[in-house]
């Protein structure tokens, strides 16, 4: 059996490209609100099922909300986000928990850089697939499940998207070939 993948990494996959096209039309605050809210609803429960006594990912999402609401400064948010990333590093033997923690950390990091929102798809969709199918499921099944989740993510963004957004975030994608 091969090692479980840590993330979806096929940049040219139709489900990633469709999401990227939608992401590129929105502002950083819209993207941050979208992916943080999506994580709270769909990804955090996966993490908490794997690590019920670890509040670091929840705290990162709270900090992202507080930054978006102007209640804290970016250094305070970043401290909580870095703790979430530390939680992910501790889960090397738990691919589902690790993918969910990475998704949450990346989504919370969207308050710093809009491009981090893609972590929702790359890590979060895989966390959902691992949670539903198990890490030993064939890759084709996991990817199909993750692709469906990416579709739900895109629908959630579409539901809050600002039509003709006057200030879309600027992107220089580092993951392109």
Q: What is the pLDDT of residue 32?
A: 97
Tell me: pLDDT of 135 over 80.
yes
Report, as an integer, the average pLDDT of 114-138: 96
Higher pLDDT, 105 or 11: 105
Q: Is 69 exposed, middle or buried (0-12, 13-18, 19+ CB in 10 A)?
A: exposed
Compute the half-sphere exposure of residue 166: CA atoms within 13 Å on the CB side of its CA.
0
Average pLDDT rounded to a whole number, residues 128-145: 96
3-state helix, strand, coil in the chain (%, to 5): 70, 0, 30
pLDDT tens figures, 53-101: 999 999 999 999 999 999 999 999 999 999 999 999 999 999 999 999 9
The half-sphere exposure of 125 on its side-chain side, counting CA atoms within 13 A, is 27
Of the candidates 15, 55, 1, the residue with the CA atom closest to the CA atom of residue 146:
15
Distance between CA atoms of residues 111 and 127, nearest Å? 22
What is the tens place of the pLDDT at every residue in 6-62? 888 888 899 999 999 999 999 999 999 999 999 999 999 999 999 999 999 999 999
Asked whether residue 159 carries a pLDDT value surpassing 80, the answer given is yes
Residue 171 reports pLDDT greater than 60: yes
Would you say residue 115 has pLDDT above 60? yes
pLDDT of 136:
95
pLDDT of 166 higher than 50:
yes
What's residue 10's pLDDT?
A: 85
**What pLDDT sits at residue 6?**
85
Q: Look at the pTM and tell me if it is higher than 0.85.
A: yes
């Amino acid at each position: 059996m091969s090692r479980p993948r840590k993330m979806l990494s096929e940049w040219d996959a139709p489900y990633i490209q469709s999401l990227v096209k939608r992401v590129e039309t929105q502002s950083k605050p819209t993207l941050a609100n979208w992916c943080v809210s999506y994580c709270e609803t769909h990804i955090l429960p996966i993490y908490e099922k794997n690590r019920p006594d670890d509040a670091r990912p929840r705290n990162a999402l709270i900090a992202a909300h507080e930054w978006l609401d102007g209640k804290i400064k970016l250094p305070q948010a970043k401290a909580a986000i870095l703790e979430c990333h530390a939680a992910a590093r501790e889960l090397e033997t738990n691919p589902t928990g690790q993918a969910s923690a990475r998704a949450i950390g990346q989504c919370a990091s969207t308050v710093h850089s809009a491009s981090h929102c893609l972590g929702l798809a790359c890590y979060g969709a895989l966390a959902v697939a691992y949670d539903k199918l198990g890490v030993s499921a064939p890759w084709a099944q996991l990817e199909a499940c993750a692709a469906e989740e990416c579709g739900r993510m895109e629908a959630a963004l579409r539901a809050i998207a600002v039509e003709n957004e006057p200030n879309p975030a600027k992107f220089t994608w580092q993951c392109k070939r």
